[in-house]
Amino acid sequence: MGKRRQAREMAMQALYFLEEQTGDPEQAITLFCRNFSPPRKTRAFFYDLVKGVHQVRATIDGIVEGYSDNWKVFRMPRVDRNIIRLAVYEMLWHEDIPYKVSINEAIDIGKRFGAGDSGAFINGILDRIRLALEKGEIDKPEALTFDAAVSPPASPAD
């Protein structure tokens, strides 16, 4: 498994975990990393995904709802919605990753972790968003900046 795939899978799991938490998100991320330590080679990308999606989740959810027929994000299966959020985050804030790569990765992760129809469901929504991006219907947002004091939690194995 590639480094970025591994980071994406762990990020989806961390976002799932964050949805269950009611306290400080930074503490929740730290707790997740203590129990499921991202490997050193994937840690920066993992942390960017988790922190980025968490920071702009409302924006991402608005886009997803605008391009999914009759679906509110909160009604989508939790695994699927977090995979979709990750892919949309990549499509909007990672110009170095082609849209099709983000979509294919999301589909594969959905097939692995989601229900039987997750891959098709994820593909349908993300492809609509891709088309809208290519047509200029969705404005690319400005780059995100994270608090300099916040960095990827160290792994106990480091």
Q: What is the pLDDT of residue 70?
A: 86
Residues 64/73, Cβ–Cβ less than 8 Å: yes
List the chain domain ranges: 3-134
Write down the pLDDT at residue 37: 87
Contact assessment for residue 147 and residue 29, using Cβ atoms and an 8 Å cutoff:
no
* Fold category of 3-134 in CATH: N-utilizing Substance Protein B Homolog; Chain A (1.10.940)
Please report, in tens digits, the pLDDT of each residue of the chain (158 residues total): 789 999 999 999 999 999 988 888 889 999 999 999 888 999 999 999 999 999 999 999 999 999 998 899 999 999 999 999 999 999 999 999 999 999 999 999 999 999 999 999 999 999 999 999 999 999 888 777 655 334 455 544 55
Q: Report CA 122 to chain centroid distance, whole Å.
A: 12
- DSSP characters over 22-71: -S-HHHHHHHHHHHSPPPHHHHHHHHHHHHHHHHTHHHHHHHHHHTSTT-
Please give the pLDDT value at position 69. Answer: 86
145 by DSSP, 3-state: which? coil
